[in-house]
Structure 1
Amino acid sequence: MEPTVASRPDPTGLNRRALLQGGIFAGLGALVATAPFFADSPAAAAAAPGGPEPSAARLKLTKFKDPLRIPPVLRPRGQGGHDELTVRLRTADVTLHSELPPVTMWTYEGVYPGPTIETVSGRPLRVAWENHLTGNIPVTAVDFSLATGPSPDPLSNYPGTDGCQEVPGVAGLPPWAAVHLHGMLTGGGNDGWMENLIGPGDVQLSAYPNKQAATTLWYHDHTHHVSRYSVYAGLAGLFISRNAEERALNLPKGEHEVPLILSDRNFGLDASGALTGRSVHKVEMVGAQRLMRPHHGPYTLVNGVVWPYLEVEPRWYRFRIANTANSRIYRLMLLADGRPVPGAFQVIGSDQGLIDKPVAVDGALNLSPGERAEVLVNFGAFRGQALKLVNTFQGVTPGASNQRNDLAEPDVMQFRVADRKPVTRFALPPVISPTFKRVTPEDLPHDHPHRWVVLVGPGSANLPELWEMEEIDPAGITFPSAGIVQVQDAQGAVKTLRRTAMSYDEGRAFTAAHDGVETWKYLNLAAAPHPMHIHLAHFQVLSRENYDVTGFDRVTRGSARPIAFKAASVLEAHELGEKDVIRVGTAGQIVPGPNGTPGELVTVAVRFPVVGRGVHHCHMLEHEQHMMRPLVVSPAAHLHRGGAGGHH
């Protein structure tokens, strides 16, 4: 059976005939276009609330001019006991805003974001990821700095490369790739190991058990050392699995179930000062040490459209929100008449599936890079109004700009609510997933392993560090000592930790038992937050606690006095479910100085249902290269063969 295509306008900004000639529909699956793109109706526009607005100074593009596009959907074909799909990596010209010319990007199947792969949970899936990319990476990489320290209004708030220098070695990067289906519980051989690259003409064959609950995952390039550029070039897309439990809920569906795939970009300028649309990866290098700040682009894209709008009915909607940005944390609020809507987001799911009951968000919905959340929003009370989804900072008026914190333009998108009678057929269910259960420390085996991972600010290489630690006897140790950290918990007990490994290729890997459970404790001693991701596993967050980190000697790189417990913190709504990324550190304003932002200790209960070699790392892509360590999951019997731990 040949793949089928819905007879709707193409949602990609690409020419439909060119797509057909390029063979986008020849893979193993049905590609369904679900919404028009840049196809405004003058009559409809006149009747709708809201409308285009100018963006912040020097950003040049009109906000809310273009409709949100919905990525096409790929559904695999059944082949007996499993499903199959072919997805091609292609170089294509993509339109990101109607005031920008089409720009060359690296894509999956010629669209950005890539097609949404939709599957049935429990059906094993085999994907052939074919590399048809051409040319060098379509990203201009530059940096800039002030020897006196960070700028109050950095150049990264604005387009172009004036005042910057080119980052050596990026312009000539050839199209190697490694596809990682983020959050899929699959063995190490199918996980998209970042050093097992495929070049043009080659194929990555991956088998995914797909035994997970109904959930929202995403796929992206994971090429070692350069993922911050390859994902930025366009290699990202959504993955959805469904099951009977989810269908029984009768949640909003069809056009009322909408993906919101968030990313940010900066763009180039031509000689006349006009925007070219080419992606510019521009970062600030702070001070004489040239400490790299994570990338934050001034243009927010939703589903690959810069500042789009979405026309909605006065009724409930289901949104699948994924933060696919390199490093930006999105603190999302919904504003009506410039004021936050209390409880606007009813969270029903997290990274790895649905939670037990809906939880209203009090304040902002904080999503760090790699995190996803499923939310329900009721527009029934806002008929005939325009609402804004904005990104904000703690301590900053929602909807206001803040250049110092890379928030030149806080708006994300606009919702235009039709002026008609509200639809009231759907009611918020009191129970979402009756099969989901929150884990408590009492549920864990009494003899399960404990791991410590300490996140530290820039060291001798002027880069933030990830330290794997082991607990030791403090006898004979002089404090402070390099790589030694003491931690005092809420009961006053002190543990002494010694660094065992830091760089990617240093020391033995954490080795976990297949189907085992472990407690991992992430301690952040740095000012900046870090979203931590574990491959080959999923976890639940047990606690989030604030710690006094002023006892850490940043010169010696060890604690002069114990890092001491201050107070327990509250988990956010989307942190109550199964996850694969957790933010460690505040999502709000970063306060400099020795008594500034408190440290955080986040404790998670990790399960390892698959076997193989993977990694754990920070999902800020600018940190991924140097905040990454290998991880091995092995059959339990193999761990003990030949001696304790299986090491020979």
Structure 2
Amino acid sequence: MSPKLEKFVDQLPILAALKPNRREADGDYYEITMEEFFQKLHRDLPPTRLWGYNRQVPGPTLDVIQDEPIKVKWVNNLPSRHFLPVDKSFLMPDLPEVRTVTHLHGGETPPPSDGYPEAWFTRNYAEVGPFFEREVYEYLNQQRATMLWYHDHAMGTTRLNNYAGLAGAYIIRDKYEKSLNLPSGEYEIPLIIQDKSFNRDGSLSYPKQPDNASEDLPNPSVVPAFFGDTILVNGKVWPFLKVEPRKYRFRMLNASNTRGYQLHLDSEQPFYQIGSDGGLLEKPVKLNMITIEPSERMDIILDFSKYEGKDIILRNNLGPNADPENETDEVMKFIVSKPLKEQDKSVIPKRLSTIPSLRANQISAYRNLKLVGSQDEYGRPLLLLNNKRWADPITEKPRLGTTEIWSFINTTAFAHPMHIHLIQFQVLERQPFDLDRYNEDGQIIFTGAPKPPEPNERGWKDTIKATSGHITRVIGKYGPFTGNYVWHCHILEHEDHDMMRPFKVIE
């Protein structure tokens, strides 16, 4: 358990946009280096050893313009040994212990730049994975304005590398969004939410083995889930933000390994959600609570104009049976104490964008994809997709430009945030089935009619909560590139331990 830390004593860091190393005729060029360093995460903690992009956690924000490509050289300057517990029991034992590859999550990216798990590389590219193709990645930014994020995606160590700090925000902007007069400039702030645990010396704590591990289990051993006991936002433990009595736009990202959040404000004021993973919704959705799974993004507006002089806590609803000692029920504090600089002329538009439905498209394939629980050779929980391992032959091969419906059939006892690389999809419905009956005889017996997606799920998505005992159906058009991509659960402990499958877009 982490040392007791006082809440709301550190100011929220504002994540500044990174300037390019140089401007070239075919796009801005950046070099971003992964390094080990120490950063102070709380006033009363000693500096914590971390791995960060450009020696910061979270990494620098990349802020780009739609249709203006950029190039990024991701440089691995990390040590040869990991400071977190590496389990080699479920991977090829001769893989280098420290390997990295950066994935732009939600990006419509050509395969050599997507961050394929086996395109990893070591320090100074001394060793590279079988899918490694290039040192400089190209991001074309030919998609809707939105906030994506970049993070490590190396085969088998994604959970450790992300927990160590390898993640950052990536914002695409366009002229249309600017014309809407949303809160902007200093009133637009990314919020990257993570949970961590600490030792008394300030070092990160991460379990070497599952609770009550048997003597036969490898040591270290992958754990089935990780829930830290401390919440960080933008790299600070339980921070505060002083705000003016006006509207602010917050780009929220859940960058935690496993934890989902149910966020609400103790002032009982609403969130106005204006966007999701793939950009603006058609119209704002007024919510009293936001549920956000690992890797999902929520673009929201908060209006503090009626709360001058108030302190407002962003809370996380842990449910009625929560442990009273669990302090993860609070996330950060807003202090409405700054004087209003000028009249707030920003607006929450009644209409935000147009999202053409994919339902009218010709459907080329319907794929039933089961989320299945089993055990590995050590008796550890093993969660699989269609009962297949990563190394099994590719079974999903959509054709370029075609539209498919994928049905995630969750036969496990808990939800999984499912992510598909390359595309933004639309959620069609969720339909409940009798999970006990399925576990008895393998039959899918529906227990209710299909339910439409929640109002704030009706935009473009790249990650969706596949609820236990439900079939979650999504529709997506596969393109604009051919090649090898990935679909997986975005609980990182699940992803690393084989809840990930390749797919290939073919001509």
2:8 maps to 1:64: yes
Distance of 2:92 and 2:83 partners within structure 1? 13
Which one of 386, 404, 407 corresponds to residue 311 of structure 2? Answer: 386
Partner of 1:232: 163
Aligned partners of 1:138 and 1:278 also within 8 Å = no
Partner of 1:95: 40
SS in 1 for 2:225: coil
Partner of 1:492: none
Could you say if the C-alpha distance between residues 629 and 116 of structure 1 is closer, same or farther in structure 2, counting changes exceeding 3 Å? Answer: same
2:351 maps to 1:431: yes
1:208-265 C-alpha deviation (Å, 9 max, x unpaired): 2210111101111111011111111111111001001111112111211011001111
SS in 2 for 1:213: coil
Q: CA deviation at 1:526?
A: 1.2
Q: CA deviation at 1:92?
A: 1.4
Distance of 2:350 and 2:358 partners within structure 1? 22
Could you say if the C-alpha distance between residues 183 and 315 of structure 1 is closer, same or farther in structure 2, counting changes exceeding 3 Å? Answer: same
Could you say if the C-alpha distance between residues 111 and 551 of structure 1 is closer, same or farther in structure 2, counting changes exceeding 3 Å? Answer: same
Aligned partners of 1:138 and 1:279 also within 8 Å = no
Could you say if the C-alpha distance between residues 121 and 75 of structure 1 is closer, same or farther in structure 2, counting changes exceeding 3 Å? Answer: farther
Partner of 1:631: 503
Which one of 483, 488, 491 corresponds to residue 612 of structure 1? Answer: 483
Distance of 2:112 and 2:401 partners within structure 1? 17
Q: CA deviation at 1:381?
A: 1.5
2:137 maps to 1:206: yes
Which one of 73, 76, 97 corresponds to residue 128 of structure 1? Answer: 73
Aligned partners of 1:139 and 1:229 also within 8 Å = yes
Aligned partners of 2:10 and 2:42 also within 8 Å = yes
1:344-387 C-alpha deviation (Å, 9 max, x unpaired): 111111111111111111x4211111111100110111111001
Aligned partners of 1:532 and 1:583 also within 8 Å = yes
2:281 maps to 1:355: yes
Distance of 1:95 and 1:190 partners within structure 2? 32
Supply the AA of the counterpart residue of 1:224.
M
Aligned partners of 1:401 and 1:410 also within 8 Å = no
Which moved further from structure 2: 618-627 or 414-423?
414-423
Could you say if the C-alpha distance between residues 350 and 105 of structure 1 is closer, same or farther in structure 2, counting changes exceeding 3 Å? Answer: same
Partner of 2:336: 417
SS in 1 for 2:177: helix
Supply the AA of the counterpart residue of 2:429.
S
Which one of 226, 229, 233 corresponds to residue 302 of structure 1? Answer: 233
Distance of 1:351 and 1:286 partners within structure 2? 38
Distance of 2:478 and 2:52 partners within structure 1? 31
Supply the AA of the counterpart residue of 2:482.
V
Which one of 545, 560, 571 corresponds to residue 431 of structure 2? Answer: 545
SS in 2 for 1:550: helix
Partner of 1:84: 29
Q: CA deviation at 1:464?
A: 3.9
Aligned partners of 1:139 and 1:232 also within 8 Å = no
Q: CA deviation at 1:284?
A: 3.9
1:559-599 C-alpha deviation (Å, 9 max, x unpaired): 1x4332424435234311111111111xxxxxxxxxxxx61
Q: CA deviation at 1:416?
A: 0.3
Comparing both chains, which one has the higher relative contact order based on Cα–Cα distances under 8 Å and sequence gaps of 6 or more?
A: 2
User: How do 1:14-29 and structure 2 match up within 5 A?
Assistant: none
Q: CA deviation at 1:99?
A: 0.8
Distance of 1:278 and 1:620 partners within structure 2? 23
Distance of 1:549 and 1:174 partners within structure 2? 39
Partner of 1:375: 300
Aligned partners of 2:242 and 2:338 also within 8 Å = no
Supply the AA of the counterpart residue of 2:276.
S
Q: CA deviation at 1:181?
A: 1.0
Partner of 2:461: 579
Aligned partners of 1:263 and 1:302 also within 8 Å = yes
Which one of 368, 376, 392 corresponds to residue 506 of structure 1? Answer: 392
Could you say if the C-alpha distance between residues 416 and 106 of structure 1 is closer, same or farther in structure 2, counting changes exceeding 3 Å? Answer: same
2:118 maps to 1:195: yes
Could you say if the C-alpha distance between residues 197 and 616 of structure 1 is closer, same or farther in structure 2, counting changes exceeding 3 Å? Answer: same
Distance of 1:401 and 1:320 partners within structure 2? 30
Q: CA deviation at 1:185?
A: 0.7
Distance of 2:284 and 2:436 partners within structure 1? 38
Aligned partners of 1:388 and 1:412 also within 8 Å = yes
Which moved further from structure 2: 564-573 or 225-234?
564-573
Q: CA deviation at 1:296?
A: 0.3
User: How do 1:137-536 and structure 2 match up within 5 A?
Assistant: 137-139=82-84, 174-202=97-125, 204-268=135-199, 275-282=200-207, 284-285=210-211, 292-336=223-267, 340-341=268-269, 344-361=270-287, 363-395=288-320, 407-418=326-337, 423-433=343-353, 435-437=354-356, 439=357, 441=359, 443-445=360-362, 447-459=363-375, 461-468=379-386, 502-536=388-422
Q: CA deviation at 1:73?
A: 1.3
Q: CA deviation at 1:175?
A: 3.2
Q: Structure 1: which 5+ runs fail to align?
A: 1-56, 143-166, 269-274, 469-500, 586-597, 636-648
Q: CA deviation at 1:600?
A: 1.5
Distance of 1:310 and 1:222 partners within structure 2? 31
Percent identical: 34
Supply the AA of the counterpart residue of 1:261.
I
Could you say if the C-alpha distance between residues 427 and 196 of structure 1 is closer, same or farther in structure 2, counting changes exceeding 3 Å? Answer: closer
Supply the AA of the counterpart residue of 1:631.
F
Q: CA deviation at 1:79?
A: 1.7
Q: CA deviation at 1:267?
A: 1.0
Supply the AA of the counterpart residue of 2:367.
R
Which one of 50, 62, 66 corresponds to residue 117 of structure 1? Answer: 62
1:607-634 C-alpha deviation (Å, 9 max, x unpaired): 2122110111111000002111110011
Partner of 2:129: none
Distance of 1:284 and 1:390 partners within structure 2? 28
Q: CA deviation at 1:524?
A: 0.8
Supply the AA of the counterpart residue of 2:397.
T
Distance of 1:133 and 1:419 partners within structure 2? 41
Supply the AA of the counterpart residue of 1:353.
G
Distance of 2:319 and 2:361 partners within structure 1? 35
Aligned partners of 1:331 and 1:391 also within 8 Å = yes
CA RMSD of aligned residues (A): 2.6
SS in 1 for 2:461: coil
- Bigger Rg over Cα: 1
Which moved further from structure 2: 386-395 or 185-194?
386-395
Distance of 1:135 and 1:189 partners within structure 2? 25
Could you say if the C-alpha distance between residues 330 and 411 of structure 1 is closer, same or farther in structure 2, counting changes exceeding 3 Å? Answer: same
Partner of 1:22: none
Distance of 2:6 and 2:27 partners within structure 1? 46
